[in-house]
Copies of this chain bind each other. A is one copy, B any other.
Amino acid sequence: MPEQPPYLRIADVLRQRIAEHVWTAGDRLPSRAQIAEECGIGENVVRRAQELLISQGVLEGRAGSGTYVAEPRQRVRVVRSSAREQPDGSPFRADMRALGKQGNWESRTEAKVPAPAEIAGRLGIAEGEPCVRTVYEFLADGRPVQLSTSWEPYELTAGTLVVLPEGGPHAGVGVVNRMAAIGIAVSHAVEQPEPRQATAEEASLLGIQKAALVTHIRRTYYSDQGQPVETADIVIPAAQCEIVYEIPVNR
């Protein structure tokens, strides 16, 4: 007979109370000591049950304050397809506009940063070659929803008006448009999404729970000559964003 372990039983009790609207979104649960006494079990069993529900996004723990029923917030839809590139304006802002949200970002650019080994490999240049590195923090209605670190070979844009991705007359229109301005035609992008857990720093920047699930996308843009022109590491929290790829089928 497969008897359920106590902590799973308690998890079901908590889940059911939420389903029955005994506790609703945003409510603070009684303290662990109270729940433990009420259910006649150890305090640690309650903790395990709550940890489980927190990892599933049902609850939310706030240190020093209490355990709360998670608010079911609307997830931001991030579309990744060829149609996303607009002749003007940024892809991200287009995503946000489609949702009726205001898209913003903050960025910090540094020139002549030596390429680390992995980045050099992705850009097809030698390790240590100078790059332009830009760190982005994307905001939807003021809340951070996406992080990105972009790398471009310095040699590619040195001396042109588009050296700085977020400066000059072509600021904030995306890689494809910027490269077009200096005569480089971007023909395709390769994206490699990988599931992992957020680092402590990412969790703090994104305002999500520690070790929450994120999708880490390694994206590289290629020119029509097949040369990499930009590569980026993009971090998207699963709880707040859904990622959509649209793939045309050619026959």
* Complex CA–CA separation, A176 to B247 (angstroms): 13
The stretch of A13-21, A38-46, A78-86, A107-115 in contact with B is A78-86
The stretch of A1-9, A130-138, A164-172, A238-246 in contact with B is A238-246
Contact at B190–A214, with CB atoms within 8 Å?
no
Contact at A250–B193, with CB atoms within 8 Å?
no
Please tell me if A251 contacts chain B, counting CB pairs below 8 Å.
yes
Contact at B195–A82, with CB atoms within 8 Å?
no
Tell which of B82, B83, B196 touches A238, judged by Cβ atoms closer than 8 Å.
B196
> How many Å from the CB of A42 to the closest CB on chain B?
18
User: How many copies of the chain does the oligomer comprise?
Assistant: 2
Q: What residues of B have a CB within 8 angstroms of the CB of A243 in the complex?
A: 192-194
Please tell me if A87 contacts chain B, counting CB pairs below 8 Å.
yes
> How many Å from the CB of A217 to the closest CB on chain B?
9
Given the interface contacts A188-B246, A245-B245, A246-B188, does A251 sit within 8 Å of B176 by beta carbon?
yes
Q: Identify which of residues 39-89 in chain A touch chain B, using a CB-to-CB cut-off of 8 Å.
A: 80-83, 85, 87
Please tell me if A187 contacts chain B, counting CB pairs below 8 Å.
yes
Please tell me if A156 contacts chain B, counting CB pairs below 8 Å.
no
Please tell me if A189 contacts chain B, counting CB pairs below 8 Å.
yes
Please tell me if A180 contacts chain B, counting CB pairs below 8 Å.
yes
Contact at B82–A246, with CB atoms within 8 Å?
no
Q: What residues of B have a CB within 8 angstroms of the CB of A215 in the complex?
A: 193-195, 215
Please tell me if A27 contacts chain B, counting CB pairs below 8 Å.
no
* Complex CA–CA separation, A72 to B214 (angstroms): 23
Nearest B residue (CB) for A246: B190
Contact at B195–A249, with CB atoms within 8 Å?
no
Contact at B251–A85, with CB atoms within 8 Å?
yes
Q: What residues of B have a CB within 8 angstroms of the CB of A247 in the complex?
A: 80-82, 188-191, 245
* Complex CA–CA separation, A85 to B176 (angstroms): 26
Contact at B188–A80, with CB atoms within 8 Å?
no
Produce 1/0 per residue, A216-228, CB < 8 A to B: 0000010000000
Nearest B residue (CB) for A84: B247
3 A-B pairs closest in CB distance: A195-B195, A191-B245, A195-B213
